[in-house]
Amino acid sequence: MGTRVDFMGEELDRMKREGLYGTIRALDGPQGAWIKIDGERYLNLCSNNYLGLANDDRVKVRVKREMTRYGVGPGAVRTIAGTMRIHLELERRLAEFKGAEAAVVLQSGYCANVAAIPTLAGEGDVIFSDSLNHASIIDACRLSRARTVRYEHSDIRDLERQLAEHMDGPGRRLVITDGVFSMDGDIARLPEIVEAAERYGAITAVDDAHGEGVLGRGGRGIVDHFGLHGRVDVEIGTMSKAFGSVGGMIAGSSTLVDFVRQKARPNLFSSAMTVPDAAANLEALEIMSESDGLVRKLWDNGSYLKRRLSEHGFDVGRSETPITPVIIGEAGDARNFSARLFERGVFATAIVYPTVPKGTARIRVMVSAAHGREDLDFGIEQFVRTGTEMGVIGR
Ligand SMILES: *Cc1c(COP(=O)(O)O)cnc(C)c1O
């Protein structure tokens, strides 16, 4: 009895023995600069709530208002009865904000990749994918059944070499990259990627999950950051990070958006974004459109933290964005570092292999516009104490 399913328990035991089993903590209140876990307050340095909108008062008021009008559930997939006026309003506002012709919203950023990539490339086509691309891109490439060629991270010469090697054949070619690489905080070399793709007749797509609400004027994203309007075929994004709620999007030409609406399986076979999410995302857009104050605060906080930590001798890697990796080295040390921080009231998780290369295990620090200077100073102090104690700094 039970032998059919024993493999699960055995695998979980193995993960625990090897330190690969992740503890999942539950928050007893809203996301913010500080969070409550098991009755204690912790400085929150690991959420993607970049602009602090996840618990914003204006957003909550808007959600309540729209729920009164539309209820909560979409009741169906978009293509049957699940398209509500609020979805269309969000799409119109998103396209306007991003300076794209059109946009379509999906249930999440993960779904947006699964919607965009297999819809644009299939059997007989070739996808060129940065070696550090997000797991949802990797999954979407697999689902597409196209041949996927990985190029070295942000290595334009390697991309060109691969493009040249796959020039023959009738299939389409698609280049896909993360906009901001989440584990290091570096920005894709999009202008050069676009040039290379144009030269070889490839479609370009960028997944701007960590750039949405962060990069560009007032958080308009990576295309705006580089002034590449009209030259990137597909902008994929998420509203689950800076926007503070959950949702995905695809922006580009109206033909692309029409095509995705008609063809993409997550749009055809999974129900629409919920009303509270659509409402929250709409209000987040309003807030971001009115002022770039939150985006500025986020960048100020990121620069301050990086500067202070590196002054104290920490290796903060090659980040070009507010994402602040603090490189520790071995996985066990990074886990230990994170555990000691937690005891000191700081919640910042360790990121280890296979998410990052061996020997570069790190604490990835995520600041937000919700953090004040005194919050950051408290966090820095705990990093310095822990780093000194463990010999990570001051050696
Ligand atoms: C976070 C992330 C996603 C997933 O977005 P969700 O909305 O949480 O599904 C997709 N792509 C990249 C690059 C991400 O960083």
Q: List pLDDT tens digits, range 58-99.
A: 999 999 999 999 999 999 999 999 999 999 999 999 999 999
Question: In this model, does residue 166 exceed pLDDT 90?
Answer: yes
Task: State whether 248 and 349 are in the same domain.
Answer: no
Q: List pLDDT tens digits, range 256-289.
A: 999 999 999 999 999 999 999 999 999 999 999 9
Task: State whether 246 and 148 are in the same domain.
Answer: yes
Task: State whether 87 and 218 are in the same domain.
Answer: yes
The finding on whether 110 has its CB within 6 A of some atom of ligand 1 is yes
What is the domain-level CATH number for residue 335?
Answer: 3.90.1150.10
Task: State whether 248 and 134 are in the same domain.
Answer: yes
The finding on whether 125 has its CB within 6 A of some atom of ligand 1 is no
The finding on whether 82 has its CB within 6 A of some atom of ligand 1 is no
Q: List pLDDT tens digits, range 130-140.
A: 999 999 999 99
- Mutation probe of ligand 1 site: the residue of 136, 187, 249, 355 with most atoms within 8 A of C-beta: 136
Task: State whether 68 and 91 are in the same domain.
Answer: yes
Range of the domain at 349: 20-49+292-390
Give a three-class secondary structure readout of 165-226.
HCCCCCCCEEEEEECECCCCCCECCHHHHHHHHHHCCCEEEEECCCCCCCCCHHHCCHHHHC
The finding on whether 66 has its CB within 6 A of some atom of ligand 1 is no
- What is the model's pLDDT at position 394? 85
The finding on whether 364 has its CB within 6 A of some atom of ligand 1 is no
The residue out of 253, 271, 290 marking a domain boundary is: 290
Residue 253 is a catalytic residue: no
Give this prediction's pTM. Answer: 0.95
Share of the chain above pLDDT 90, in %: 92
Is 33 within a domain?
yes
Contacts 24+ apart (CB under 8 A), 289-295: 289/93, 289/97, 289/218, 291/218, 292/217, 292/218, 292/219, 294/51, 294/52, 294/53, 294/219, 294/369, 295/51, 295/213, 295/214, 295/218, 295/219, 295/369
Beta-sheet strand order (sheet of 324-329): 324-329, 361-365, 350-351
Cα–Cα distance for residue pair 118/395, rounded to 1 Å: 50
Number of domains in the chain: 2
Residue 270 is a catalytic residue: no
Residue nearest to atom 12 of ligand 1 (CA): 209
Position in ligand 1 atom list of the atom nearest CA 180: 13
Cα–Cα distance for residue pair 180/134, rounded to 1 Å: 10
Question: In this model, does residue 395 exceed pLDDT 90?
Answer: no
Structure token pair of residue 298: 């986020």
The residue out of 290, 313, 340 marking a domain boundary is: 290
pLDDT, averaged across the chain: 96
- What is the model's pLDDT at position 253? 98
What is the domain-level CATH number for residue 241?
Answer: 3.40.640.10
Question: In this model, does residue 20 exceed pLDDT 80?
Answer: no
Cα–Cα distance for residue pair 241/246, rounded to 1 Å: 8
Residue 225 is a catalytic residue: no
Which member of 134, 241, 297, 306 is catalytic? 241
Question: In this model, does residue 1 exceed pLDDT 60?
Answer: no
φ, ψ (nearest 5 deg) of residue 178: -65, 150
Q: List pLDDT tens digits, range 203-231.
A: 999 999 999 999 999 999 999 999 999 99
Q: List pLDDT tens digits, range 331-376.
A: 999 999 999 999 999 999 999 888 888 899 999 999 999 999 999 9
Can you tell me the mean pLDDT for 243-248? 98
